[in-house]
Structure 1
Amino acid sequence: MNKGGEPDLLDGYLREAPARLGRSGFEAVLRAADATCALLAGGHPALLAGPDEVAFGPDLQREYLALLAVLITGRTDHHVITLPQSDGTAGWAVAEKHLAHDPKALEELRARITARAHDGARTGRALEQWWDTE
């Protein structure tokens, strides 16, 4: 319960997540989210990545993103959507509730995110080439 006597937003998550993830997975997600929140609070950019010492596979990555969305937005009405990657692995994005039920809007969002990621990767490769020639 929060100070106003209302159920705390994270109470349900913190009670249910260990059963879904197992103790070590739950702890890994919490450590990763805590580190990310500390970086963001300090004004630093944060890379969405889990701890190296734990197998931080796709299920934990998705859970981590969902937890960050709740912590950042203060809401639980978002949806984590799958973004297929060119290498066959899955990536994710957080979408507003109304998009989850609009296949056309969801596909347009996926296309925009994918295009932005490809542009960023091209820019990164160009900068690396430039850096290597200097």
Structure 2
Amino acid sequence: MSAEGEGSDLLDDYLREALARLGRPGFEAVLRAADATCMLLAGGHAAVLEGPDGEGGFGPVLQREYLALLAVLITGRTGHHIIALPQSDGTAGWAVVEEHLLHYPKALEELRTRITAQAHASAQTVRALEYLWETD
């Protein structure tokens, strides 16, 4: 990937590499998702993700790549890493971390634990709110 601070070439290089990793259908699905997300978030709406035509949902590979693209778009850098966050149902969630955290396994694991705990707490809150909504 491009070195930090190389301007517009950074995104071009990143996108070429993503195309090589995903192939055209997956790459286009990730770009559509990122574009739709930017437009929806700018308008204050939630994003809905779709996979390539005929391939089912927006699976883990596309989710990871989508998050990586958003991280590049948001930070303007490629010096980040995507880490897996195991979910209770066996699927993986993802988080973006700075590269230096990879050199500190204990700190990385503590961060992973905190993010997972927060996600579980948020899910419990959502379930409680849904229950209250349904009982009114």
Match of 1:66 in 2: 68
After TM superposition, the structure 1 = structure 2 runs for residues 76-95 of structure 1, keeping only pairs within 5 Å, are 76-95=78-97
* TM-score of the aligned structures, taking structure 1 as reference length: 0.87
CA displacement at 1:45 relative to structure 2: 5.0
How many pairs are equivalent? 128
Amino acid paired to 2:26: G
Q: Which moved more, 1:102-111 or 1:11-20?
A: 11-20
Establish whether residue 50 from structure 1 lines up as the match of residue 49 from structure 2.
yes
Q: How far apart in 2 are the matches of 1:32 and 1:25?
A: 11
Q: Which has the higher contact order (CA 8 A, sep 6+)?
A: 2
- Return 5+ residue gaps in structure 2 as ranges: 1-5
Q: How far apart in 1 are the matches of 2:91 and 2:133?
A: 29
What is the percentage of aligned positions where both structures have the same residue?
73
Establish whether residue 16 from structure 1 lines up as the match of residue 17 from structure 2.
yes
Match of 1:40 in 2: 41
Provide closer, same or farther for how the CA distance between residues 9 and 131 of structure 1 changes in structure 2, counting only shifts above 3 A.
same
Amino acid paired to 2:49: G
CA displacement at 1:6 relative to structure 2: 5.0
SS of the counterpart of 1:9?
helix
Q: Which moved more, 1:117-126 or 1:8-17?
A: 8-17
Q: How far apart in 2 are the matches of 1:70 and 1:116?
A: 24
* TM-score of the aligned structures, taking structure 2 as reference length: 0.85
CA displacement at 1:68 relative to structure 2: 0.3
Match of 2:131 in 1: 129
Deviations 1:41-95 (A, max 9, x none): 33x2544x52165532111110000000000111110110110111111110001
